[in-house]
Amino acid sequence: MELPELTTATLRSAAGKDDPFAGWDTTPLFMQALPSDGALNDASGANTGQNTLAALQALAYDGSPSEIAEEFRNQGNQLFKQRKFKDAIGFYSRALDELGQDLSVEEKRTLWSNRAAANLELANYGSCLRDVAQVLGAPQTYYPEPMPEAWKRTDAKALLRSARALLGLDRLDEAFDALLRLQVLEERLGEAQLDSGKKWREQVQTKIQQRERLELGKKEKERRRKEEEQALVLAMTLRGVALPKITASKPLFSECPSDVRPPHFDPKSLPSSSSPSIPLLPPKADSEASSAAAIRWTAPPPETSLIFPIFLMMPLNNPPTRDLCLEFHTAATFGDLLASMDQDPTTIAMYIATKEGRVLKVGNKLTLGKVLVAAAGEAADDGWELKEGWALELVAVPKGPRGEEWVAKWKQEVKAGVKPLM
Protein backbone atom coordinates (compact mmCIF):
# COMPACT_ATOMS: atom_id res chain seq x y z
CA MET A 1 0.00 0.00 0.00
CA GLU A 2 1.39 3.43 -0.98
CA LEU A 3 2.35 5.68 1.95
CA PRO A 4 1.12 9.34 2.05
CA GLU A 5 3.59 11.82 0.59
CA LEU A 6 5.84 13.39 3.22
CA THR A 7 6.55 17.08 2.53
CA THR A 8 8.04 19.94 4.48
CA ALA A 9 4.75 21.81 4.24
CA THR A 10 2.89 18.90 5.77
CA LEU A 11 5.26 18.74 8.72
CA ARG A 12 5.25 22.50 9.24
CA SER A 13 1.49 22.69 9.17
CA ALA A 14 1.22 19.91 11.74
CA ALA A 15 3.89 21.49 13.93
CA GLY A 16 3.17 24.22 16.41
CA LYS A 17 4.94 27.55 16.50
CA ASP A 18 6.77 26.60 19.70
CA ASP A 19 7.74 23.09 18.61
CA PRO A 20 8.93 22.78 14.99
CA PHE A 21 9.30 18.99 15.42
CA ALA A 22 5.79 18.26 16.71
CA GLY A 23 4.64 17.26 13.25
CA TRP A 24 6.84 14.19 13.24
CA ASP A 25 4.54 12.55 15.82
CA THR A 26 1.72 12.58 13.26
CA THR A 27 3.80 10.92 10.56
CA PRO A 28 3.21 7.13 10.39
CA LEU A 29 6.88 6.18 10.30
CA PHE A 30 7.60 8.06 13.54
CA MET A 31 4.32 7.65 15.45
CA GLN A 32 4.39 6.03 18.91
CA ALA A 33 0.61 5.82 19.27
CA LEU A 34 -2.48 5.84 17.12
CA PRO A 35 -4.39 9.13 16.70
CA SER A 36 -6.70 9.87 19.62
CA ASP A 37 -10.36 10.83 19.30
CA GLY A 38 -11.31 12.39 15.96
CA ALA A 39 -9.78 12.26 12.49
CA LEU A 40 -6.30 13.41 11.64
CA ASN A 41 -6.54 16.50 9.37
CA ASP A 42 -3.90 18.07 7.21
CA ALA A 43 -3.33 21.78 6.61
CA SER A 44 -6.18 21.99 4.15
CA GLY A 45 -8.60 20.43 6.62
CA ALA A 46 -8.86 17.25 4.59
CA ASN A 47 -9.49 14.05 6.52
CA THR A 48 -6.26 12.05 6.34
CA GLY A 49 -7.06 9.67 9.23
CA GLN A 50 -7.80 6.75 6.94
CA ASN A 51 -4.55 7.28 5.03
CA THR A 52 -2.65 7.40 8.33
CA LEU A 53 -4.13 4.12 9.54
CA ALA A 54 -3.49 2.50 6.19
CA ALA A 55 0.11 3.64 6.28
CA LEU A 56 0.52 2.31 9.81
CA GLN A 57 -0.83 -1.07 8.79
CA ALA A 58 1.53 -1.18 5.84
CA LEU A 59 4.49 -0.38 8.08
CA ALA A 60 3.41 -2.84 10.79
CA TYR A 61 3.21 -5.81 8.47
CA ASP A 62 6.16 -5.06 6.20
CA GLY A 63 8.62 -7.95 6.64
CA SER A 64 8.81 -11.52 7.91
CA PRO A 65 6.87 -12.59 11.03
CA SER A 66 10.06 -12.39 13.09
CA GLU A 67 10.82 -8.90 11.81
CA ILE A 68 7.28 -7.70 12.42
CA ALA A 69 7.28 -9.20 15.93
CA GLU A 70 10.63 -7.52 16.58
CA GLU A 71 9.14 -4.16 15.61
CA PHE A 72 6.21 -4.73 17.96
CA ARG A 73 8.59 -5.74 20.75
CA ASN A 74 10.81 -2.70 20.19
CA GLN A 75 7.79 -0.42 20.24
CA GLY A 76 6.64 -2.08 23.46
CA ASN A 77 10.10 -1.66 24.97
CA GLN A 78 10.09 2.03 24.05
CA LEU A 79 6.72 2.50 25.74
CA PHE A 80 7.95 0.54 28.76
CA LYS A 81 10.85 2.98 29.16
CA GLN A 82 8.30 5.80 29.09
CA ARG A 83 6.39 3.97 31.85
CA LYS A 84 3.40 3.47 29.55
CA PHE A 85 3.03 -0.10 30.72
CA LYS A 86 -0.52 -0.75 29.51
CA ASP A 87 0.41 0.37 26.01
CA ALA A 88 3.56 -1.75 26.11
CA ILE A 89 1.49 -4.80 27.06
CA GLY A 90 -0.70 -4.12 24.03
CA PHE A 91 2.27 -4.34 21.64
CA TYR A 92 3.71 -7.49 23.27
CA SER A 93 0.27 -9.13 23.19
CA ARG A 94 -0.27 -8.19 19.57
CA ALA A 95 3.01 -9.83 18.56
CA LEU A 96 2.08 -13.00 20.45
CA ASP A 97 -1.56 -13.16 19.37
CA GLU A 98 -1.14 -12.32 15.72
CA LEU A 99 2.29 -13.78 14.98
CA GLY A 100 2.92 -16.29 17.74
CA GLN A 101 2.41 -19.39 15.60
CA ASP A 102 5.14 -18.23 13.22
CA LEU A 103 7.70 -17.31 15.90
CA SER A 104 10.42 -19.43 17.46
CA VAL A 105 10.09 -20.56 21.06
CA GLU A 106 12.83 -18.18 22.19
CA GLU A 107 11.14 -15.23 20.45
CA LYS A 108 7.90 -16.00 22.24
CA ARG A 109 9.74 -16.47 25.55
CA THR A 110 11.22 -12.99 25.17
CA LEU A 111 7.80 -11.48 24.50
CA TRP A 112 6.24 -13.30 27.48
CA SER A 113 9.10 -12.16 29.68
CA ASN A 114 8.71 -8.54 28.58
CA ARG A 115 4.96 -8.63 29.09
CA ALA A 116 5.51 -10.11 32.55
CA ALA A 117 7.76 -7.14 33.38
CA ALA A 118 5.05 -4.66 32.32
CA ASN A 119 2.38 -6.52 34.29
CA LEU A 120 4.67 -6.54 37.31
CA GLU A 121 4.99 -2.75 37.17
CA LEU A 122 1.19 -2.50 37.16
CA ALA A 123 0.95 -4.93 40.11
CA ASN A 124 -0.93 -7.39 37.89
CA TYR A 125 0.75 -10.22 39.76
CA GLY A 126 -1.48 -12.99 38.47
CA SER A 127 -0.90 -11.99 34.83
CA CYS A 128 2.81 -11.67 35.50
CA LEU A 129 2.98 -15.19 36.93
CA ARG A 130 1.05 -16.63 33.99
CA ASP A 131 3.54 -15.12 31.54
CA VAL A 132 6.48 -16.31 33.63
CA ALA A 133 5.02 -19.82 33.65
CA GLN A 134 4.96 -19.71 29.85
CA VAL A 135 8.63 -18.70 29.81
CA LEU A 136 9.83 -21.35 32.24
CA GLY A 137 7.55 -24.08 30.88
CA ALA A 138 8.33 -23.59 27.20
CA PRO A 139 9.60 -26.66 25.27
CA GLN A 140 13.39 -26.98 25.42
CA THR A 141 13.94 -26.91 21.69
CA TYR A 142 17.73 -26.77 22.05
CA TYR A 143 17.86 -30.35 23.45
CA PRO A 144 20.05 -32.46 23.23
CA GLU A 145 22.47 -29.53 22.89
CA PRO A 146 23.45 -27.67 26.09
CA MET A 147 21.15 -24.87 27.19
CA PRO A 148 22.13 -21.66 25.35
CA GLU A 149 23.20 -18.69 27.44
CA ALA A 150 20.43 -16.55 25.95
CA TRP A 151 17.91 -19.13 27.19
CA LYS A 152 19.45 -19.05 30.67
CA ARG A 153 19.33 -15.25 30.78
CA THR A 154 15.66 -15.25 29.84
CA ASP A 155 15.09 -17.80 32.59
CA ALA A 156 16.95 -15.57 35.04
CA LYS A 157 14.76 -12.57 34.23
CA ALA A 158 11.64 -14.72 34.50
CA LEU A 159 12.68 -16.10 37.89
CA LEU A 160 13.29 -12.62 39.29
CA ARG A 161 9.96 -11.35 38.00
CA SER A 162 8.24 -14.44 39.35
CA ALA A 163 9.78 -13.87 42.79
CA ARG A 164 8.71 -10.23 42.87
CA ALA A 165 5.14 -11.11 41.86
CA LEU A 166 4.98 -13.84 44.51
CA LEU A 167 6.31 -11.37 47.07
CA GLY A 168 3.55 -8.97 46.07
CA LEU A 169 1.02 -11.75 46.72
CA ASP A 170 2.68 -12.52 50.08
CA ARG A 171 3.54 -16.04 48.90
CA LEU A 172 6.86 -15.76 50.65
CA ASP A 173 8.07 -19.35 50.60
CA GLU A 174 7.51 -19.64 46.85
CA ALA A 175 9.20 -16.28 46.28
CA PHE A 176 12.24 -17.39 48.27
CA ASP A 177 12.43 -20.64 46.30
CA ALA A 178 12.41 -18.70 43.00
CA LEU A 179 15.20 -16.44 44.25
CA LEU A 180 17.33 -19.42 45.29
CA ARG A 181 16.87 -20.91 41.82
CA LEU A 182 17.90 -17.56 40.34
CA GLN A 183 21.04 -17.55 42.49
CA VAL A 184 22.01 -21.03 41.27
CA LEU A 185 21.35 -20.05 37.65
CA GLU A 186 23.56 -16.97 37.93
CA GLU A 187 26.35 -19.12 39.35
CA ARG A 188 26.07 -21.39 36.31
CA LEU A 189 26.31 -18.32 34.08
CA GLY A 190 29.49 -17.31 35.88
CA GLU A 191 27.75 -14.22 37.26
CA ALA A 192 27.57 -15.12 40.94
CA GLN A 193 28.97 -11.70 41.82
CA LEU A 194 25.98 -10.07 40.11
CA ASP A 195 23.48 -11.68 42.51
CA SER A 196 20.56 -9.71 41.07
CA GLY A 197 18.14 -11.28 43.53
CA LYS A 198 20.06 -10.33 46.70
CA LYS A 199 17.93 -7.29 47.52
CA TRP A 200 14.71 -9.25 47.08
CA ARG A 201 16.06 -12.29 48.92
CA GLU A 202 16.84 -10.15 51.95
CA GLN A 203 13.40 -8.56 51.77
CA VAL A 204 11.69 -11.96 51.59
CA GLN A 205 13.78 -13.32 54.47
CA THR A 206 12.87 -10.30 56.58
CA LYS A 207 9.18 -10.80 55.84
CA ILE A 208 9.41 -14.52 56.60
CA GLN A 209 11.03 -13.75 59.95
CA GLN A 210 8.36 -11.15 60.70
CA ARG A 211 5.64 -13.66 59.83
CA GLU A 212 7.22 -16.31 62.04
CA ARG A 213 7.48 -13.87 64.96
CA LEU A 214 3.87 -12.85 64.41
CA GLU A 215 2.77 -16.49 64.58
CA LEU A 216 4.87 -17.07 67.70
CA GLY A 217 3.36 -13.94 69.24
CA LYS A 218 -0.17 -15.21 68.55
CA LYS A 219 0.64 -18.58 70.14
CA GLU A 220 2.18 -16.90 73.18
CA LYS A 221 -0.84 -14.60 73.56
CA GLU A 222 -3.17 -17.60 73.45
CA ARG A 223 -1.01 -19.48 75.97
CA ARG A 224 -1.21 -16.57 78.38
CA ARG A 225 -4.96 -16.23 77.93
CA LYS A 226 -5.57 -19.90 78.68
CA GLU A 227 -3.20 -20.07 81.65
CA GLU A 228 -4.58 -16.85 83.16
CA GLU A 229 -8.13 -18.16 82.79
CA GLN A 230 -7.17 -21.42 84.49
CA ALA A 231 -5.45 -19.50 87.30
CA LEU A 232 -8.51 -17.24 87.70
CA VAL A 233 -10.89 -20.21 87.91
CA LEU A 234 -8.66 -21.78 90.56
CA ALA A 235 -8.42 -18.52 92.53
CA MET A 236 -12.21 -18.01 92.51
CA THR A 237 -12.93 -21.65 93.39
CA LEU A 238 -10.54 -21.56 96.36
CA ARG A 239 -12.26 -18.39 97.59
CA GLY A 240 -15.73 -19.93 97.50
CA VAL A 241 -17.14 -18.55 94.26
CA ALA A 242 -19.65 -20.91 92.64
CA LEU A 243 -18.89 -20.84 88.92
CA PRO A 244 -21.22 -21.77 86.06
CA LYS A 245 -20.38 -24.81 84.00
CA ILE A 246 -17.78 -23.96 81.37
CA THR A 247 -18.14 -25.61 77.96
CA ALA A 248 -16.72 -25.10 74.50
CA SER A 249 -19.98 -23.51 73.38
CA LYS A 250 -20.28 -21.42 76.55
CA PRO A 251 -16.82 -20.29 77.69
CA LEU A 252 -16.12 -18.46 80.93
CA PHE A 253 -17.86 -15.06 81.17
CA SER A 254 -19.30 -15.45 77.66
CA GLU A 255 -22.50 -13.63 78.68
CA CYS A 256 -20.73 -10.65 80.22
CA PRO A 257 -21.58 -7.38 78.42
CA SER A 258 -18.75 -5.94 76.35
CA ASP A 259 -18.68 -2.71 78.39
CA VAL A 260 -18.21 -4.56 81.69
CA ARG A 261 -14.99 -6.22 82.76
CA PRO A 262 -15.71 -9.65 84.28
CA PRO A 263 -13.96 -10.94 87.42
CA HIS A 264 -10.20 -10.52 87.11
CA PHE A 265 -6.95 -10.32 88.99
CA ASP A 266 -6.15 -6.94 90.52
CA PRO A 267 -3.52 -5.43 88.18
CA LYS A 268 -1.83 -3.70 91.13
CA SER A 269 -1.38 -7.02 92.94
CA LEU A 270 0.19 -8.96 90.08
CA PRO A 271 3.71 -10.29 90.63
CA SER A 272 6.33 -9.02 88.20
CA SER A 273 6.39 -12.39 86.44
CA SER A 274 2.69 -11.96 85.57
CA SER A 275 2.88 -8.37 84.37
CA PRO A 276 1.05 -7.70 81.08
CA SER A 277 3.95 -5.42 80.13
CA ILE A 278 6.21 -8.44 79.55
CA PRO A 279 6.65 -8.62 75.75
CA LEU A 280 4.99 -11.55 74.02
CA LEU A 281 8.38 -12.35 72.50
CA PRO A 282 11.84 -11.36 73.67
CA PRO A 283 13.69 -8.91 71.45
CA LYS A 284 15.90 -10.43 68.79
CA ALA A 285 18.88 -11.61 70.80
CA ASP A 286 22.37 -10.69 69.68
CA SER A 287 23.86 -13.01 72.25
CA GLU A 288 22.95 -16.02 74.35
CA ALA A 289 23.18 -13.90 77.50
CA SER A 290 20.51 -11.45 76.37
CA SER A 291 18.32 -14.36 75.30
CA ALA A 292 18.68 -16.04 78.69
CA ALA A 293 17.80 -12.78 80.44
CA ALA A 294 14.37 -12.65 78.80
CA ILE A 295 11.50 -12.99 81.31
CA ARG A 296 8.93 -15.70 80.69
CA TRP A 297 5.39 -14.74 81.63
CA THR A 298 3.68 -16.97 84.22
CA ALA A 299 0.09 -16.97 85.44
CA PRO A 300 -0.69 -15.18 88.74
CA PRO A 301 -0.76 -17.39 91.85
CA PRO A 302 -4.24 -18.11 93.31
CA GLU A 303 -3.70 -15.86 96.34
CA THR A 304 -3.50 -12.77 94.11
CA SER A 305 -6.27 -10.28 94.92
CA LEU A 306 -9.39 -10.33 92.75
CA ILE A 307 -11.88 -7.73 91.56
CA PHE A 308 -15.55 -8.56 90.88
CA PRO A 309 -18.49 -6.70 89.38
CA ILE A 310 -21.41 -6.88 91.81
CA PHE A 311 -25.14 -6.16 91.62
CA LEU A 312 -26.76 -4.30 94.53
CA MET A 313 -30.43 -5.29 94.70
CA MET A 314 -32.81 -3.13 96.74
CA PRO A 315 -36.22 -4.86 96.48
CA LEU A 316 -38.03 -2.49 98.87
CA ASN A 317 -37.23 0.63 96.91
CA ASN A 318 -40.11 2.10 94.95
CA PRO A 319 -39.63 0.92 92.31
CA PRO A 320 -37.18 -1.90 93.18
CA THR A 321 -33.66 -1.27 91.89
CA ARG A 322 -30.72 -3.37 90.77
CA ASP A 323 -27.55 -1.32 90.35
CA LEU A 324 -24.16 -2.52 89.19
CA CYS A 325 -20.84 -1.70 90.81
CA LEU A 326 -18.16 -2.40 88.22
CA GLU A 327 -15.29 -3.11 90.64
CA PHE A 328 -15.42 -4.63 94.13
CA HIS A 329 -12.00 -5.63 95.46
CA THR A 330 -11.62 -8.71 97.67
CA ALA A 331 -9.86 -6.53 100.27
CA ALA A 332 -12.62 -3.87 100.30
CA THR A 333 -15.42 -3.85 102.91
CA PHE A 334 -19.13 -3.91 102.22
CA GLY A 335 -19.38 -0.55 103.93
CA ASP A 336 -16.99 0.77 101.30
CA LEU A 337 -19.22 -0.73 98.62
CA LEU A 338 -22.36 1.00 99.92
CA ALA A 339 -20.56 4.32 100.27
CA SER A 340 -19.31 4.10 96.69
CA MET A 341 -22.93 3.64 95.56
CA ASP A 342 -24.24 6.60 97.63
CA GLN A 343 -25.95 4.39 100.21
CA ASP A 344 -25.85 4.89 104.01
CA PRO A 345 -24.34 1.78 105.68
CA THR A 346 -25.92 2.70 109.03
CA THR A 347 -29.48 2.36 107.71
CA ILE A 348 -29.12 -0.68 105.45
CA ALA A 349 -28.82 -4.41 106.18
CA MET A 350 -27.12 -6.62 103.57
CA TYR A 351 -27.57 -10.30 102.71
CA ILE A 352 -26.33 -12.85 100.20
CA ALA A 353 -27.79 -16.19 99.09
CA THR A 354 -25.47 -19.16 98.51
CA LYS A 355 -25.72 -21.87 95.90
CA GLU A 356 -27.10 -24.34 98.47
CA GLY A 357 -29.87 -21.99 99.65
CA ARG A 358 -28.28 -20.43 102.71
CA VAL A 359 -28.93 -16.73 103.39
CA LEU A 360 -26.06 -14.95 105.16
CA LYS A 361 -26.15 -11.51 106.75
CA VAL A 362 -23.20 -9.34 105.82
CA GLY A 363 -21.66 -6.75 108.15
CA ASN A 364 -20.39 -3.39 106.97
CA LYS A 365 -16.86 -4.08 108.19
CA LEU A 366 -16.49 -7.47 106.55
CA THR A 367 -14.34 -7.68 103.43
CA LEU A 368 -15.44 -9.41 100.26
CA GLY A 369 -12.69 -11.98 100.74
CA LYS A 370 -14.00 -13.02 104.18
CA VAL A 371 -17.61 -13.23 103.00
CA LEU A 372 -16.56 -15.46 100.10
CA VAL A 373 -14.92 -17.86 102.56
CA ALA A 374 -18.06 -17.87 104.71
CA ALA A 375 -20.21 -18.56 101.66
CA ALA A 376 -18.12 -21.62 100.83
CA GLY A 377 -19.03 -23.17 104.20
CA GLU A 378 -16.90 -25.29 106.51
CA ALA A 379 -16.87 -28.19 104.06
CA ALA A 380 -16.18 -25.83 101.15
CA ASP A 381 -19.07 -27.44 99.29
CA ASP A 382 -21.14 -24.29 98.94
CA GLY A 383 -20.41 -20.87 97.47
CA TRP A 384 -21.59 -17.48 96.29
CA GLU A 385 -22.86 -17.86 92.74
CA LEU A 386 -22.00 -15.60 89.85
CA LYS A 387 -25.29 -14.27 88.54
CA GLU A 388 -25.59 -14.43 84.75
CA GLY A 389 -22.21 -16.12 84.86
CA TRP A 390 -20.15 -13.00 85.58
CA ALA A 391 -21.30 -10.92 88.62
CA LEU A 392 -21.95 -11.37 92.34
CA GLU A 393 -25.31 -10.26 93.76
CA LEU A 394 -25.96 -8.52 97.08
CA VAL A 395 -29.42 -7.81 98.59
CA ALA A 396 -29.91 -4.66 100.68
CA VAL A 397 -33.03 -3.79 102.72
CA PRO A 398 -33.78 -1.05 105.26
CA LYS A 399 -32.98 -1.94 108.86
CA GLY A 400 -36.07 -2.52 110.98
CA PRO A 401 -39.23 -4.64 110.98
CA ARG A 402 -40.11 -4.00 107.33
CA GLY A 403 -36.76 -5.24 106.12
CA GLU A 404 -36.70 -8.19 108.53
CA GLU A 405 -40.15 -9.31 107.38
CA TRP A 406 -39.07 -9.24 103.72
CA VAL A 407 -35.86 -11.19 104.50
CA ALA A 408 -37.79 -13.89 106.41
CA LYS A 409 -40.05 -14.45 103.42
CA TRP A 410 -37.08 -14.37 101.06
CA LYS A 411 -35.26 -17.08 103.04
CA GLN A 412 -38.18 -19.43 102.53
CA GLU A 413 -38.21 -18.68 98.80
CA VAL A 414 -34.46 -19.26 98.55
CA LYS A 415 -34.77 -22.64 100.28
CA ALA A 416 -37.58 -23.57 97.92
CA GLY A 417 -35.46 -22.54 94.96
CA VAL A 418 -37.81 -19.76 93.85
CA LYS A 419 -36.12 -17.37 91.40
CA PRO A 420 -35.70 -14.55 90.68
CA LEU A 421 -36.05 -12.05 93.49
CA MET A 422 -37.35 -9.23 91.30
Q: How far apart are CA 119 and CA 105, in angstroms?
A: 21
Q: What is the DSSP letter of 38?
A: S
Out of 10-24, 70-84, 382-396, 400-414, pick the least confident: 10-24
- 251 or 44: which leads in pLDDT: 251
Q: How far is CA 84 from CA 36, 168, 341, in A?
A: 16, 21, 71
Provide, rounded to the nearest whole percent, the portion of the chain with pLDDT above 70. 82
**Kindly report the CA angle at 323 between 321 and 324, in degrees rounded to 5?**
160
The closest alpha carbon to 59, from 70, 68, 51, belongs to 68
Asked if 242 and 390 touch (Cβ cutoff 8 Å), the reply is no
pLDDT band at 262 (very low <50, low <70, confident <90, very high): very high
Q: How far apart are CA 380 and CA 186, in angstroms?
A: 75
CA dist 253 and 30 (Å) reads 76
Q: How far apart are CA 49 and CA 136, in angstroms?
A: 42
Exposed, middle or buried: residue 141 (CB in 10 Å: 0-12, 13-18, 19+)?
A: exposed
Query: Coil, strand, or helix at residue 397?
Result: strand
Among 77, 66, 54, 78, residue whose Cα is nearest residue 106: 66
What is the structure's pLDDT at 420?
52
- Mean of pLDDT over the chain: 86
pTM of the shown model: 0.68
Closest CA to 207 of 179, 233, 187: 179
pLDDT (average), residues 99-108: 90
Domains of the chain (ranges; CATH) run 61-195 (1.25.40.10), 238-279+296-421 (3.10.20.90)
The predicted structure's pLDDT at residue 216: 95
